[in-house]
Chain A
Amino acid sequence: DAKTTQPPSMDCAEGRAANLPCNHSTISGNEYVYWYRQIHSQGPQYIIHGLKNNETNEMASLIITEDRKSSTLILPHATLRDTAVYYCIVRPEGGGADGLTFGKGTHLIIQP
Chain B
Amino acid sequence: EPEVTQTPSHQVTQMGQEVILRCVPISNHLYFYWYRQILGQKVEFLVSFYNNEISEKSEIFDDQFSVERPDGSNFTLKIRSTKLEDSAMYFCASKPTGFRNTEAFFGQGTRLTVV
Contact = CB atoms under 8 A, between A and B. Distances in A.
Nearest to A99: B45
A68 interface: no
Interface of A: 32, 38, 41-46, 49, 51, 87, 91-104
B79 interface: no
A99 B35 contact: yes
A99 B109 contact: no
Contact of A97 (B4, B89, B98, B103): B98
Nearest to A44: B106
A45 B83 CA distance: 29
Q: Which of B45, B50, B106, B107 has the most CB of A within 10 A?
A: B106
Given A101-B45, A102-B42, A43 B91 contact: yes
Contact of B56 (A45, A51, A97, A103): A97
Contacts of A49: 101, 103
Interface residues of B, number: 32
B45 A95 contact: no
Interface string B35-73: 101000011111111100001101000000000000000
20 contacts: A32-B100, A41-B89, A42-B109, A43-B4, A43-B93, A43-B107, A43-B109, A44-B43, A44-B93, A44-B104, A46-B103, A46-B104, A87-B43, A93-B101, A94-B99, A94-B100, A95-B100, A97-B98, A102-B44, A104-B42
B13 interface: no
Contacts of A103: 42
A92 B101 CA distance: 8
Nearest to B92: A43
The 9 A-B pairs of least Cβ separation, nearest first, read: A99-B45, A43-B106, A97-B55, A46-B103, A97-B48, A102-B43, A95-B98, A98-B56, A43-B91
